[in-house]
Structure 1
Amino acid sequence: MSDSLAPYLPYLLALVLPPGVFIVLLLVGLRQWRPRRALGIALVLLACAGLWLGSTTGWAWVTQSFVLRVPPALGPIDLDELKTQAKAQAKGNPTVAIVVLGGGLVPRSPDYRLSDLSATGLQRLRYGLWLARQTGLPLAYSGGIPYGLPESVTPEARVAERIAREEHGTALRWVEDGSRDTRENAGRTAALLRQAGVRKIVLVTHVWHMPRAQRAFTEALGGSGLTIQPAPMGLLPLQTSHLAHWSPSLPGLIENRHAWREWLALVLGY
């Protein structure tokens, strides 16, 4: 993505993601109601169904599971294996590392009066720190200045470094602060960790972002021999039969927007 297109991206996404895409479809259906009544009715009904389903956590779970095909969360066996690997590398240079991908930056928080991570970024950092405590593995954070923000803004990874140190008493082993999107996250972080002798990455990001993040890291790593173990977070519970999961809600709308956005990015090869 170029900096010239960045200011327009929120408006474009508003038209192609829920609920915007269904509102547009509804307006088209109403416009066709009189000249093409059958088509108009079909479009209106489709828009209404989309508005309803696109705001439910049940449909978001279906999209994540069968469209994005997200990997499962780390289980107790996975954590035990990572602990064993951490102990094996305790006396030498680390060959396994946790990598947290940035999730957004607040240039200046009105609460703290300094740069802060977005809610998404904070969730990823917190999970990465928890994994580091559970396994003993070193931690990296990848995230620079997002598109559209001035170069004077503090890079996201530097904000994460401060929060980890001041609020959690943990130091990040690696800080990659030059990337602006997922592809750059992968390319810059892979180069940084290869130089450090790391052979395995435990990749932390939200579940809906994981398929695209895995693809980017796989492409960046090429034939280097460095492997990836996905550690997705924010998975939805498997309770699609419960009525509440098929009722519109704000969490449902947010999860569907994320899932649709990631699917669109995968299709477009972004």
Structure 2
Amino acid sequence: MDFLHLAGAWKPVIAALLLPPVPWMLLILIGARLILPRRGLGFFILLTGWVLLWLSCCTGVATWLQNRVLRPPPAILGSTQDRLMRLGRDYARQQPAMKRHGQDALNKVPPAGIVVLGGGVVPRAPEYGVADLATPSADRLRYGVWLSRQTGLPLGFSGGVGWAQKGVQVASEAETAARISEEQFGVRLTWVESRSADTRENAMATVSMLADQGVHEIVVVTQAWHMPRAQRAFESAAAVWAGRTGKPAPVITPAPMGFWGRDGRAVLDWLPSHSGMMNVRLASHELLGMLSGN
């Protein structure tokens, strides 16, 4: 267990060294070193590193990686949203009947539940004086609240303290999300999973929590670029739970949001930008995670 925690603690450092722009910066240095002894090869490596560094800062590359390499599922629309809304309406109609019979409506297991995956926390935001959700987490929570209101299905949040913040006194993402959801959206979370440190742990803990309660479908909310890896982790966790319990695995329904698109004029997609650099890095992180089995 200690070894696993030690390995996890090094994950952010290893990822930072393997993700753009570090490899391309190293390539440029190698090319520069080779220019004197082997001018042609050195210049070619240097130019290659420079081109890759340029492309790794372009929105067009990030969008291509999202659509052509990661290939996230489409947003929940049409028949899928209609089906979830029917489940939510059926669940809502059962509540008054339960109250009339003296039963606690909170004890009724919903047919499906929406779970937002954590994407980072700010340990102490100066403007609020308390912990706040990082931008990816806040965007996911906002969409999760909207989807919960649209469908009538209960909402949960999964996220503990990431590996980069282990050992530091930090409020968990789920606890922070629960406070913000209630204070800013007036929505009380039904499930709060606050022990996981990464996507794989999100999936294992969330599936166990909801499936053990009898929830048959888990609607997973996260950004489109993160969804392929998250969906794979949740489906794997559902299969493990089914094998352990001998019961049917819960259905995993992806609800991606935050799709990347064009910035405006086509030429801007191929000019370096802050959003391009961040998005290429995020997409590369997902590819690295999928290749490593995380």
Query: The TM-score by the shorter chain falls in which range?
Result: over 0.9
| Residues 1:105 and 2:121 aligned together | yes
Following TM superposition, by how much is the alpha carbon of 1:139 offset from its aligned partner in structure 2, in angstroms? 0.5
Q: Name the counterpart of 2:157.
A: 141
Match of 2:203 in 1: 186
**Runs of at least 5 residues in structure 1 that lack an aligned partner in the other structure:** none
Deviations 1:113-145 (A, max 9, x none): 111111111111111111111111110100112
1:19-67 per-residue CA deviation (whole Å, 9 max, x = no partner) reads 2221111111111112222221221121121111111111111111222
For 1:154 and 1:181, locate their aligned partners in 2 and report how far apart those are by CA, in whole Å. 15
Structure 2 CA distance for aligned equivalents of residues 6 and 144 of structure 1: 14
Residues 21-30 or 232-241, more deviating: 232-241
Instruction: Give the whole-Å Cα distance in 2 for the aligned partners of 1:197 and 1:150.
Output: 34
Alpha-carbon contact 1:17-1:257 (below 8 Å) kept: yes
**Could you say which residue in structure 2 is the equivalent of 1:74?**
76
Letter in 1 for 2:114: I
- Of 202, 207, 228, the residue aligned with 1:211 is 228
Q: Report if the CA contact (8 A) 2:262-2:269 is conserved.
A: no
The equivalent of 1:160 in structure 2 is 177
Report if the CA contact (8 A) 2:59-2:263 is conserved: no
Separation in 2, partners of 1:246, 1:70: 22
The secondary structure found in structure 2 opposite 1:229 is strand
Q: 3-state DSSP class of the match of 1:126?
A: helix
Which structure would you say has the larger Rg?
A: 2
Match of 1:247 in 2: 271
- What is the rounded CA distance, in whole Å, between the counterparts of 1:218 and 1:226 in structure 2? 9
SS of corresponding position for 2:192: strand
Aligned residues of 1:14 and 1:21 also touching (Cα < 8 A): no
Q: CA deviation at 1:215?
A: 1.1
In the alignment of these two chains, the number of paired residues is 270
Equivalent residue, structure 1, for 2:99: none
| TM-score relative to the length of structure 2 | 0.86
2:191 counterpart of 1:174? yes
2:131 aligned with 1:115: yes
Q: Larger helix proportion, structure 1 or 2?
A: 2
Q: Aligned partners of 1:3, 1:149: CA distance in 2, in Å?
A: 9
- Give the Cα separation in 2 of the matches to 1:48 and 1:153: 39
TM-superposed deviation, 1:9: 4.0
Structure 1 equivalent of residue 289 of structure 2 = 265
Tell which deviates more after alignment, 71-80 or 203-212: 71-80
Q: Let me know the Cα RMSD of the aligned residues.
A: 2.0
- Residue 230 of structure 1: aligned partner: 254
Equivalent residues of 1:145, 1:151 under 8 A apart = no
Deviation at 1:202, TM superposition (A): 1.1
In structure 2, what is the Cα distance between the partners aligned to 1:45 and 1:241?
27
Please report how far the alpha carbon of residue 13 of structure 1 lies from its aligned counterpart in structure 2 after TM superposition.
2.7
1:16-55 equivalence runs, <5 A = 16-55=18-57
Deviation per residue, 1:214-234 (Å, 9 max, x gap): 111111100432111111111
User: Partner amino acid for 1:52?
Assistant: W
CA-to-aligned-CA distance 1:88-131 (integer Å, 9 cap, x gap)? 22215201111100111112222211111111111111111111
1:142 and 1:175 in contact (8 A); partners too: yes
Which sits farther off after the overlay, 13-22 or 147-156?
Answer: 147-156
- CA–CA distance in structure 1, aligned partners of residues 293 and 40 of structure 2: 36
> Which stretches in structure 2 are left out of the alignment for 5+ residues?
95-107, 243-247
Aligned to 1:96: 112
